[in-house]
Amino acid sequence: MRQAELTRIFLAKLAGTPVFDPNAERVGKIRDAVAAIRQDNLAPRILGFIVEVPQRRKIFIPITRVTSIDDGGVFITGSLNIRRYQQRHGELLLLETFLDHATRLIESGKTVVIEDIGMERQDNKDWYASYIHVLKRAGTFRRGTSTTVKWSDVEFDSAHHSINLAAANEDINLLPAQEVAAALHELDVERQTEIARTMNDEKLADVLEEMDDADRVALVSQLEGELVADVLSEMAPDDAADVLREVGAEKAETLLNLMEEDEAQDVRRLMEYEDFSAGGMMTTDPVILSTDSTVAEALAAVRNKDLAPASAAQVFVCRAPLETPTGRLVGVVHVQRLLREPPALSLGIVAEKETNAISPETSLNDVVKHLANYNLIAAPVVDENERLLGAVTVDDVLDHLLPANWRSA
């Protein structure tokens, strides 16, 4: 842009300003600014403007095409591309997202309302949304005072979740599942669905496990059956069973039929039990080794980064077969014991024969008491023949004790 004197341009004031082509003919008016989101609360980089042209069509004009801005209008160069603007991942409409939204100042913690966003050109010629004009709240009959602060001085709430999602773009699969789930909670189901389709199956499985029940059901109902089946296959069977219980019997059966037969079989087995029973809560893939396995092999098994901490706290020692339902449960070895024993010692020697096992019909309340009485992180679940069916961990119990909406409460 040519106007060096314009060190800041406030977007809410700019909205409605006419846009002129190289022939000084009016082609539309400014409606919003598109920004590329950056992580760590850095000021977003301005990519261009949303311009409304005749027939209320909204198009995108890159910031590099803008030659000047003054009180009379925004002037552009080159021909006009009238293709309707479609928001991409990593892009944010600044006014639509933030204008009139409440947020907090980081230093004082005071609640403010965003009244405008100021963009500023840096030495590298790029423009950034570096400033935010906010209204500090006052009493009931007073308007409050306005001030301009830096972007980095503001702590965003619901809008900030959207920023994190957009900032991730292709890297959304690298974000913590809890963060993505919290961000999705702030969006409508259509936008949730759009973002969910960009994740790989493993990440989407993790995110679904972190979502509130209502959000999860709504999202699953919008996604293609084949995609949901693939995602369920990435979940632990107990988590997949929880999801299928929520979507209803007919939908659950459809999804089970789309899953691989062996994976669906594990989930079907869990769904035979009541949800709030040991069988309904248990994981069917705890760490299981034979009596001939060594301490060193056990330590290697619990070192698996994909294991939940509660599942990695002990090893269940069983007769063959070593997949649930196993042969007879012989004993349990806790990690602390493994760390004290020689690496070559067999688990048949070090395993505690008192397993404190429970039946799959044990109620949630009794499971809680059992874990507390024996100071357990996980309890083995066995059938009448002492075969290991799975294990109930403290994590499983907490998931069932907490209210359904605890993540967003």
- For every residue of 10-61, DSSP letters joined together read EHHHHTT-EEE-TTS-EEEEEEEEEEE--STTPPPEEEEEEEEEGGGEEEEE
Place 252 in a pLDDT band, splitting at 50, 70 and 90. Answer: very high
User: Does residue 226 lie in a domain region?
Assistant: yes
Domain end among 68, 88, 108:
88
Residues 367 and 294 in one domain: yes
Domain end among 60, 88, 116:
88
Kindly report which listed range (111-125, 168-182, 230-244, 391-405) carries the lowest average pLDDT score.
Answer: 168-182
Residue entry with tokens 């972007």: 151
Is the pTM for the entire model greater than 0.85?
Answer: no
| Tokens matching residue 1 | 């842009």
pLDDT at 4: 44
Mean pLDDT of 299-305: 95
Residues 307 and 376 in one domain: yes
Mean pLDDT of 335-362: 96
CA atoms within 13 A on the CB side of 253: 2
User: Does residue 65 lie in a domain region?
Assistant: yes
Whether 48 shows a pLDDT value over 90: the answer reads yes
Cross-strand pairs, 50 = 32, 60
Buried b (16+ CB within 10 A) or exposed e, 118-137: bbbbeeeeebbbbbbbbbee
| Tokens matching residue 378 | 């996980």
User: Does residue 103 lie in a domain region?
Assistant: yes
* Total domains in the fold of the chain: 4
Residues 297 and 387 in one domain: yes
Mean pLDDT of 51-57: 91
AA letter at 372: A
Residues 250 and 302 in one domain: no
Residues 102 and 78 in one domain: no
353: three-class secondary structure by DSSP: coil
User: Does residue 145 lie in a domain region?
Assistant: yes
Strands 18-20 and 73-76: parallel
Say which CATH number the domain at 187 has: 1.25.60.10
Residues 84 and 100 in one domain: no
Place 123 in a pLDDT band, splitting at 50, 70 and 90. Answer: confident
Residues 82 and 100 in one domain: no
Whether 161 shows a pLDDT value over 90: the answer reads no
67: three-class secondary structure by DSSP: strand
Residues 244 and 188 in one domain: yes
Place 12 in a pLDDT band, splitting at 50, 70 and 90. Answer: very high
Place 262 in a pLDDT band, splitting at 50, 70 and 90. Answer: confident
Whether 322 shows a pLDDT value over 50: the answer reads yes
CB 130 within 8 A of CB 113: no
User: Does residue 113 lie in a domain region?
Assistant: yes
Residues 116 and 39 in one domain: no
User: Does residue 62 lie in a domain region?
Assistant: yes
Whether 165 shows a pLDDT value over 80: the answer reads no
Bigger pLDDT: 176 vs 2:
176
d(CA 103, CA 98): 9
Say which CATH number the domain at 105 has: 2.30.30
User: Residue 316's CB: how many other CB atoms inside 10 A?
Assistant: 26
Name the E strands within 175-313. 288-289
Residues 112 and 43 in one domain: no
d(CA 401, CA 396): 9
Which residues span the domain enclosing 337?
A: 288-400
Domain end among 88, 110, 133:
88
